[in-house]
Structure 1
Amino acid sequence: MSDAERPVLLSVDDDPSVSRAVARDLRRKYGRDFRVIRAETPDTGLEALKELKLKGARVAVILADYRMPEMSGIEFLESAMDIYPRARRALLTAYADTDAAIAAINVVDVDHYLLKPWDPPEEKLYPVVDAMIDSYLDEPDVNAAETKVIGHRWSPPSFEVRDFLARNAVPYRWFQIEEPEALRLLQAANLDPAAELPVVVTPDGGALVAPSTAQLAAAVGLATTPETDLYDLVVVGGGPAGLGAAVYGASEGLRTLLVERYSTGGQAGQSSRIENYLGFPDGVSGGQLTDRARRQAVKFGTEILTSRDAVGLRAHGPGRILSFGDGREVTAHTVIIATGVQYRELVAPGVAELTGRGVYYGSAMTEAASCQGDDVYIVGGANSAGQAAVFFSRVAKSVTLLVRGRSLEDSMSYYLIEQLRSIGNVRVRLETTVTEAHGGDNLEALTLRAPDGSSERVTASHMFVFIGAQPRTDWLADVVERDEHGFIRTGTDLVVDGRMPRGWPLDRDPWPLESSLPGVFVAGDVRAESVKRVASAVGDGAMAVSLAHRYLGSA
């Protein structure tokens, strides 16, 4: 058991000689299995408890001197109970104060008292501490050394923090502000319960109030700053195409940087179950697939930056300079754009106001537990919507798939359609649209338009939106050629009537997956005319690396 995992025995006594003696005797018997901490004032004792609480440590036993000038032992133990209610408590007292100590056992729930001096400890100290430890171990504090998030149930910023941590595979515990443990954590961080939320407590005991994505990423150990200014290959986007490119690039010896604005995995990373990906006959969740790919990329030496937004790209001689939102730049010999696509916003009254408070884009699997026994609505008719319907059917009372088109066969894989038909609590409503979302603090109802034009208001606490996809390529508008929808043109699509793309400087045609800027390749869903499937995106990433190698060899 590591030092951080061992429960704590804390003693507080304002007499230094007594304080040292208590700690000495406790360490002699319990030092192997417990951390022994001593404090010589009540204030330092409470500060130690607050620090331990923020770091997720467990406190098993607290011993406090009955008579201390700043605060009595009884008052100290009362305050300690607010921070560690499950810790066992005892007073160290002189014989003359025995009656007061006994009264304290009944008044403030003190477990025991110990007379000073306690020699020999084998007879007078250890039996009492043994009893308290045994009592504690019957119902110990939960070891919560991971990141902790305190927030409101229907708060968009709280949801965004939880979603960011979950999608970046950062373990965390969620506490609603109404929970007693949330209030204890705020107290330990010296924050008022009315403080701005969410509050994020990191494993090292730091407390962040309403952090930005970049602040959160740095606090939980995600890399946010590049290690150097020059790379062989920079991959922009951490979905399947970007992760595939990173794995193949790094494994083939290229110094590779992967830049992701939010979390690795992209839309595929949010999929609850992918069942048609080669090599996984029983299916695999998007999160599991993403985590394996990320670990594989790192194993080969890929450097991954999270919460870094690429805002500019330009050529400078043989280099390709990528600019970030914070003003920093890196130079690459080759670049692969793999930024994927994002779900389109559902435009209807009330939707924007309730986003993050019952209305979500993508699977938002952090909300699954909250859907227990509820009626869930999913908007969309492609595979992502179908996978979400299957997932939420396991926890929700009912799942209704709202499809704008006339048939699922036009947009969804056959295996998913058959799966949905076999699930009793899933209903599919074709040619149906959402015209309004209703609610105060959170989503309460939806107005639906049926095929015959009639409207119906239905009760709903959760709506997950999967409608269409649009590329996020505005930052490349004057850099590479795009089609009318913003997808990036590549290869032969750039050559029109035998004419090279505008500004093309080379005496060869653009290679497959190469954009109108030589040395900049495109992989995955952001590429014009791409096949919107995970396998094809990974293939694009591998092929783009092969072409990048060819480009480096010819440069």
Structure 2
Amino acid sequence: MADTLYDTDLIVIGGGPAGCAAARMAASVGMRSILVEPDRLCRNLYRIPALNNVLGGYTSGPELADSILAELKSTGLCRLELGRRVTDLRVDEVRVTITVDTGARLTAPYTVVATGVGPLQPHDVAWISAPSGLTLPPLWQAEADDAEGRSLLVLGGDRPIGTFLRAHPTTGTRLLVAYPAADEYKIEEIREDPRITLLPAEHLSLSATEGTAVSAEAVSQDGARQTITADAAYLSIGNAPTAPSGDLVRGVDGYCPPTDQHPRVIVAGDLRSARFQRIMTALGSGSEAALHAYYAARELTKG
């Protein structure tokens, strides 16, 4: 497909499950692709210790990631550009042009943007007050050995809490989960776990940490105040989209709805919406995105 107008048939931005699936599907229909990823392929999958919602019998993120990488690295039509970050994306009626952090530019008729999301920090949400500049690690970065026998303050009730507990069924870690009313539905799967102490909070004020210890004051919906102390604090308050600058249309929530984009820009994976942040949906949407480019390039319709 590629000719002198382009460097390749398809540029894939992002090397997570959606981006890898897009590159693999593109190759299966004879399309050349360049996949650009600033880190390692499937980086976040390697940090998920337990899986229970993907096909293929995979029970851990690393197991699934290894399988994806083995397939992609054996795909001759995919050129990997690892350690490179896309700093700008421009699109016109003829091509898509991306600029990477080295200043180099790449062109293609279409691009799949699958840069996913990154963890929100305390300053990103209104219900938490924290010292200026404080950043905390997400819960999935907590190592079981380091957490054993300790109490961890977890900010937010997002899904990684359940993943952590399933991955470490015998851990003696105690999780103090402070969460807003909006997260009430998310904590159902962990409510009965004896290692969990639920702390519904209208507002939480996080004090400056001394060493690894942390303290906070939680205000409940009825105005009651409670002081919380823990050995360390971790995040589980959700994620924010991490799209490159340039000609991407963003919604008010920062996500990039696929139907709002230029016809040459196809959004896949978690970047589409907060509603579909699952590995299986990422894999499916990445594959579909590559087929979308394939059929569009031939002026065909799927049917």
Common fold, TM-score beyond 0.5?
yes
* Residue 78 of structure 2 is aligned to residue 279 of structure 1: no
Structure 1 residues 372 and 482: CA distance shift in structure 2, 3 A: same
Name 1:299's counterpart in structure 2: 74
> Shift in Å at residue 475 of structure 1?
0.5
Structure whose alpha-carbon radius of gyration is higher = 1
Name 1:486's counterpart in structure 2: 254
Which among 64, 77, 84 is matched to residue 289 of structure 1?
64
Name 1:512's counterpart in structure 2: none
SS at match of 1:475: coil
* Residue 67 of structure 2 is aligned to residue 329 of structure 1: no
Gaps of 5+ in 1: 1-228, 495-514
CA distance in 2, matches of 1:315, 1:421: 48
CA distance in 2, matches of 1:530, 1:423: 26
CA distance in 1, matches of 2:249, 2:193: 45
Name 2:290's counterpart in structure 1: 545
Q: Deviations over 1:241-264 (max 9, x none)?
A: 112112212233322222122343
Name 2:3's counterpart in structure 1: none
CA distance in 2, matches of 1:402, 1:285: 27
CA distance in 2, matches of 1:271, 1:433: 29
TM-score (norm 2): 0.83
Name 1:235's counterpart in structure 2: 12
Range that drifts further, 387-396 or 463-472 = 387-396
Runs of 4+ in structure 1 off by over 6 angstroms are: none
* Residue 209 of structure 2 is aligned to residue 439 of structure 1: yes
SS at match of 2:140: coil
CA distance in 1, matches of 2:150, 2:42: 28
What amino acid sits opposite 1:284 in the alignment?
Answer: T
8 Å CA contact 1:242, 1:258 repeated in 2: yes
CA distance in 1, matches of 2:55, 2:232: 32
8 Å CA contact 2:139, 2:154 repeated in 1: no
Q: Deviations over 1:66-107 (max 9, x none)?
A: xxxxxxxxxxxxxxxxxxxxxxxxxxxxxxxxxxxxxxxxxx
8 Å CA contact 2:270, 2:277 repeated in 1: yes
Name 1:372's counterpart in structure 2: 148
Higher relative contact order (CA 8 A, sep 6+): 2
Structure 1 residues 462 and 378: CA distance shift in structure 2, 3 A: same
CA distance in 2, matches of 1:406, 1:548: 38
CA distance in 2, matches of 1:323, 1:443: 43
Name 2:28's counterpart in structure 1: 251
Name 1:315's counterpart in structure 2: 91
CA distance in 1, matches of 2:83, 2:114: 16
> Shift in Å at residue 452 of structure 1?
3.2
8 Å CA contact 1:393, 1:425 repeated in 2: no
CA distance in 1, matches of 2:132, 2:178: 15
8 Å CA contact 1:434, 1:446 repeated in 2: yes
Map 1:88-237 to 2 at 5 A.
Answer: 230-237=7-14
CA distance in 2, matches of 1:350, 1:399: 22
> Shift in Å at residue 290 of structure 1?
2.2
Which among 419, 426, 429 is matched to residue 199 of structure 2?
429
8 Å CA contact 1:236, 1:335 repeated in 2: yes
> Shift in Å at residue 236 of structure 1?
0.7
TM-score (norm 1): 0.47
8 Å CA contact 1:447, 1:458 repeated in 2: yes
> Shift in Å at residue 545 of structure 1?
0.9
Name 1:398's counterpart in structure 2: 174
> Shift in Å at residue 522 of structure 1?
0.8
> Shift in Å at residue 352 of structure 1?
3.5
* Residue 298 of structure 2 is aligned to residue 521 of structure 1: no
Q: Deviations over 1:119-153 (max 9, x none)?
A: xxxxxxxxxxxxxxxxxxxxxxxxxxxxxxxxxxx
Q: Deviations over 1:477-503 (max 9, x none)?
A: xx1322212222333xx4xxxxxxxxx
8 Å CA contact 2:88, 2:244 repeated in 1: no
Identity of aligned residues (%): 23
CA distance in 2, matches of 1:411, 1:546: 34
SS at match of 2:50: coil
> Shift in Å at residue 325 of structure 1?
1.8
Which among 516, 529, 535 is matched to residue 280 of structure 2?
535
What amino acid sits opposite 2:13 in the alignment?
Answer: V
Structure 1 residues 326 and 437: CA distance shift in structure 2, 3 A: farther
8 Å CA contact 1:343, 1:362 repeated in 2: no
CA distance in 1, matches of 2:205, 2:148: 25
Structure 1 residues 455 and 326: CA distance shift in structure 2, 3 A: farther
CA distance in 1, matches of 2:139, 2:82: 20
Structure 1 residues 431 and 447: CA distance shift in structure 2, 3 A: closer
What amino acid sits opposite 1:520 in the alignment?
Answer: V
Q: Which has the higher helix share?
A: 1
What amino acid sits opposite 1:372 in the alignment?
Answer: E
* Residue 115 of structure 2 is aligned to residue 339 of structure 1: yes
Structure 1 residues 244 and 238: CA distance shift in structure 2, 3 A: same
SS at match of 2:8: strand
Q: Deviations over 1:329-368 (max 9, x none)?
A: 1122321001112221112323744x3xxx3125114x33
> Shift in Å at residue 530 of structure 1?
5.4
Which among 327, 349, 361 is matched to residue 130 of structure 2?
349
SS at match of 1:554: coil
SS at match of 1:287: helix
